[in-house]
Amino acid sequence: MDEPLTILVPTRDEEDVIGTTVETLRRMFPDAEVIVADDGSRDGTAETAEAAGAIVLRLPRRGKGQALSAAERAAPPGALLLCDADLSGELAPLLEGGGDLNVAAFAKREGGGFGLAKRVARALIEVLAGFEAGEPLSGQRALSPAARRACFPVAAGFGCEVRMTIDAARSHLSVREVELPLRHRPTGRNLRGFVHRGKQLRDTLYACGPLGVNFRGLRLPLVGWKVGLTNGPAVAAVAALGVTDDLWSGPERGFRAHLVSGRTTGILKLVGIPAVGLVATRKLSGALLVGLAANALNQLDTRPGRALKAYLAAAVPLEAPVRVAVLLLPYDLREMAMLGDAGSNALGALLGLNSVKRFTGRGQWVAIGALAGLTIIGERTSIGAWIERTPGLAWIDRLGRA
């Protein structure tokens, strides 16, 4: 690779090794910029890396993939070299011999578990991209500018490497594995090692599922479909309609844009969600409440935690289920996952269905009027901007957000 090179090093609590790693990288690649993405370290990692000559991004703790995506956004144009903080060995061969995505394969294996996470990762890459990977979890990678465009922002957490390989192979870029005599701190068959590999396996599975890009440019797993798993067939159907929008939606936003465009996933939801409400409640008011409440929560899902907070505030008086929302809230707030349309629509449908149970006929129509008014306002202006301008609501909105 002859393009300008930037080296990205994601790290957390690596004060004892990060200085040596940065110094080694600067000696090997004197013309490259080294960016250390400090993922919420509690020790002196950031200061040590800075003293060694790296540019340091001090980030809240979100995960490896989120740290890499933030570092890539801060990097100048050109090729990238990704390196783990505890690595020792020569990485220059990764930049030789062509290839868009070059992955280091360790010549000698040290430590490790029983290989379950690696086998699952290999199988998913082969099924989803048709590429047979020997080292699917290796964090030592060189990316050409074309691979950088195809792979970033990367998937969240420890799933970033697996999804990176999938994205490069799907983009018909050349993917090579290069065997190198590298060393890193091994994880053993102890509690800490098994917890780490469990996180790898979890993040790998999420990385191969539906993903979305949030307002900060982080690529996160869409986990809102979980709302539909335990709340009955009507909510499951609404979540399924939301999944179609998560996977295949176009650039259209708002009812007007979808109506003008014609056949969109938004039109499918516009028809399908009220139809689910009608079947579930056998009432026109039920159809309207489910459809409008689902849209209202979707309108609010533009910042971490906003839709879930609104849901919890309404769920208590309506006696709607709160367990799944409480479980998802910390992950949404910390930008480790996103609701997506599947989650926001399903939560809105839950509110609509419980409104039918709790309100009288007149109360239902009052709620319909309020939700319709909110929908009209959302078509004309940004509800999120209005929330951020209102002092009390702005404080609640920011509460718990990184």
Quick one: residue 397, left, alpha or beta (phi over 0 = left, psi -120 to 50 = alpha)? alpha
* Residue located via tokens 């990977």: 133
Whole-number pLDDT of residue 267: 85
* Cα of 348 vs its chain's centroid, Å: 22
For the segment 147-163, what is each residue's pLDDT rounded down to a tens digit?
A: 999 999 999 999 999 99
Q: What is the mean pLDDT of residues 337-352?
A: 96
Contact of 397 with 388, CB cutoff 8 Å: yes
Retrieve residue 321's tokens.
């289920």
Checking if the pLDDT of 111 tops 70, the result is: no
Q: Which residues contact 327 (CB under 8 A, 6 or more apart)?
A: none
The pLDDT, as a whole number, for residue 378 is 85
Per-residue tokens: 23: 């110094």
Q: Kindly report, residue by residue over 30-41, the tens digit of the pLDDT.
A: 999 999 999 999
Give yes or no for residue 280 having a pLDDT over 60: yes
**Residues 219 and 65 sit within 8 Å (Cβ to Cβ):** yes
- What is the rounded CA–CA span in Å between residue 7 and residue 30? 11
Give the integer Cα–Cα distance in Å for 334 and 378. Answer: 26
Query: By percentage, how much of the chain surpasses pLDDT 70?
Result: 92
- Per residue in 42-70, pLDDT tens? 999 999 999 999 999 999 999 999 999 99
pLDDT in tens, 300-341: 999 999 999 999 999 999 999 999 999 999 999 999 999 999
245 pLDDT band, cuts 50/70/90, is: confident
